[in-house]
Structure 1
Amino acid sequence: MDVSALILADSRFPGGGHVHSGGLEEAVCRGLIKSERDLPGFLFGRLRTAGALAATFAAASAHAATRGVHSGHWRQLDQELDARTPSVAQREASRAQGRGTARAGRVAWPSPVLDELLGVTPRPHHAVICGALVGIGGGIPSDAAMAVAYLAVSGPASAAVRLLGLDPFAVNAVVARLSGALREVCAEAAASAGADPADLPAPASPALDLFAEEHARHHQEEVRLFAG
């Protein structure tokens, strides 16, 4: 895995991911997640839906960054991911993280490719900007896919520790047991990296979309630990 992808997957990367729980907080509020035993199903489902979608577009974006595509391609990638994200709250969370990642990425990996991407989409989706940064940093599509797929499960796992006071060792073991599924998701994402953006896979996560919309509504009415 390339160093650029490791940096992006690091929880210390200042991209703003720490304020998002990936639907975990809403699941906790509904009583669906109460202990470490409840986490594997949630995290696996998230990986195979929202995580797979992010991995697909990150891989495609890394592939595009190494080819020096024109600005229209970046716009299409961003628009196609937008079309595959029906939840307004999910789109806003992705773009908020994307903007934070772009700000940090511009300092770490300055590049004309990055300038062109941000010229057409100043608030890119998180997966798109992550993939571009991995490509600019010298990584390959599977590296980019792994970075965002890992974040799709590690973020909610960390949120579970904070929200429920779970044993961090046990929670870490849950994430570790997802390694095989992570590799499968990333291999599938890398295989489609060179496809036309309109033809990229579109795994759906309707339950997470509903959780995101409810969380956004509740977040306006009461104090929540996470923004999304």
Structure 2
Amino acid sequence: MVGIGPGDLDQLTYQARSVLEEVEVIIGYRPYLDLIAPLIVRQTLIASGMTQEVERCQQAVALARAGKSVAVVSSGDPGVYGMAGLVLELLGTDPDIPVEIVGGLTAAQAAAACLGAPLMNDFAVLSLSDRLNPWECIIKKVELAALADLVLVLYNPKSKTRVRQIDEVQQVLLRHRAPVTPVGIVRNAKRGESQVTLTNLAEFTTEPIDMFCTVIIGNSQTRVLGKWLVTPRGYAL
């Protein structure tokens, strides 16, 4: 399993690049394979679409059992909402297939780097996609993160068919945090031209938000310093 990071090839780790150049087969979601196209020379590519994660990993396992060296590609890090867990579940305790998980820069890190230093203290990462997890569980986690005064990183914040959830998150957080709490929105973090928006909790849902965005919502200590979003670590200054 190989994490390709946010998308730009200069954000790809040396290990990930080396593995992708050496394997026989690369399997992944088609848009992710497009991102690493310059690295493809002789490898066999197997692309599939959205919602075909299980079939993709089953095919990878079958090829590995047949003796092929296979890389299953995930954006970001394969162990953060990626394919690592699914592949390991499918393999079970099979001792005959050597497995390596190659980490990558995940969206929370990429977005934080674009914004400044919003994750200097404790934070929580949540996906708002309810395709695999019930919305009732997700919104409860939002409430608990708010009660704990954690900086909140939102993956998959809004899609064409899932538009109301981000508003529910806002309403829950407004019960616990000031309307002026800083919020950063990063579109295409470290992928081409990143777009950074600094706003606040009361207004962030009016900004254009989609599946290419990562939203970081500050806690009671987070503040805006010039163009940067900063959550103090606690050092005496």
**Shorter-chain-normalised TM-score: which range?**
under 0.3
Decide which structure has the larger Cα Rg and report it. 2
TM-score, normalisation: structure 1: 0.23
Task: Please identify which structure carries the higher strand content.
Answer: 2
Higher relative contact order, chain-length normalized (CA < 8 Å, sep 6+): 1
Per the normalisation by structure 2, the TM-score is 0.23
